[in-house]
Amino acid sequence: MDIINKINIQLSKIKSILVKELKQGEYTYDYKICEDECKFLDKPELQSYLSETQISNTFFLKIINELCSYIIDIWNDDFQKLDRKMLKEGPHPLYKGMHKIRISLLDFHGLDVFEDEIIHYNTISEKITFAVKYNILDNALLYINIKLIADRCSIILDLITAAYPETTANRLVKSNNEKYKEYAWFEVGLLFANGEMEELILKHSSNATQIAKKVFGDEWNKYRPCISDSIGNITKRDKNIFADNSKLLKIEKHCLENNISISSAFSNQIKTE
């Protein structure tokens, strides 16, 4: 597998992690990566490949540009405003030889990198397994953080656009103007706009916690404040979507562009600007 495909797989995995964290409203800063099978975002190999190989179809280069741009933007524009996630449990025992060592692990993403996939160790038990398996106490891994990953993405972007300038003009960069669609208030607002929330309110007797768990599952606690504050529209807090007309207009625009029916109860809350 060539370096273009490997980097594409690796960046896609990082993006999927970041999208989930953005929705949760907190992020994990540190990454501990095993590169025994394959290097992670290998800049030297990419540079060598671009200098020695003539690429006629630049589609995948454009995809890499898109992924790099997304990761750079999400770090610069979104993650620095979020809370840094920490482990909720205490120190964990790790074993080194015959000795039991207790250390307090900062939260981290454990990644095992292969040519055609990345195995992500995400739960606490998986992270302990990862730490023991790869001798985390001996610093046998690549230690990197999301800022450094964004920096690597910037270098990769520069290498590709220098070799193939046409990938810059047409790259599929996500518009900053549409990032709001990833926030909790927007997803909750759509439920109010399309009328689903009215049914949920009746079914669950206006219990915001039950509604959030029903719709959003394990991520319910991120969405509950928006639901709670928006039901009845009785507060002026920022979690109440009806307190901010600009949010309502964004939701309305999305519905109109995607042929989503808008309930009259929602439309009546929008102020004409």
DSSP states along 22-51: HHHTEE--EEEEE-SSS-SS-HHHHHHHHH
**Predicted confidence (pLDDT) per residue in 51-86, tens digit:** 999 998 888 998 898 899 889 888 887 887 788 877
What pLDDT, on the 0 to 100 scale, is given for residue 173? 43
Query: Looking at the predicted structure, is the pLDDT value of residue 15 above 80?
Result: yes
User: Taking a C-beta distance cutoff of 8 angstroms, is the pair 111, 40 a contact?
Assistant: yes
Residue 219 confidence class, pLDDT cut points 50, 70, 90: confident
User: Taking a C-beta distance cutoff of 8 angstroms, is the pair 71, 11 a contact?
Assistant: yes
Task: Give the residue-averaged pLDDT of 133-157.
Answer: 84
**Predicted confidence (pLDDT) per residue in 122-140, tens digit:** 887 787 788 778 777 666 6
* Exposure string over 55-88, b if 16+ CB within 10 A, otherwise e: beebeebbbbbbbbbbbbbbbeebbeeeeebeee
Question: How far is residue 66's CA from residue 174's CA, in Å, rounded to a whole number?
Answer: 7
**Predicted confidence (pLDDT) per residue in 18-35, tens digit:** 988 888 888 988 899 999
User: Taking a C-beta distance cutoff of 8 angstroms, is the pair 21, 28 a contact?
Assistant: yes
Question: How far is residue 158's CA from residue 210's CA, in Å, rounded to a whole number?
Answer: 48
**Predicted confidence (pLDDT) per residue in 236-257, tens digit:** 878 899 988 888 988 998 888 7
Q: Chain-wide mean pLDDT for the chain? A: 83
What pLDDT, on the 0 to 100 scale, is given for residue 273? 54
Question: How far is residue 155's CA from residue 68's CA, in Å, rounded to a whole number?
Answer: 9
The model's pTM: 0.59
Q: Are strands 30-34 and 108-113 parallel, antiparallel or unpaired?
A: parallel
| Sequence spans of domains, the chain | 3-87+107-125+140-174, 183-267
Higher per-residue pLDDT: 182 or 193: 193
Enumerate the H helices of 119-263 as residue ranges. 124-133, 146-163, 166-169, 184-193, 196-203, 208-216, 220-230, 245-257
Could you give the dihedral angle defined by the CA atoms of residues 12, 251, 185 and 245, in that order, rounded to the nearest 10 degrees? 140
Q: The tokens of 257 are what?
A: 């562009």
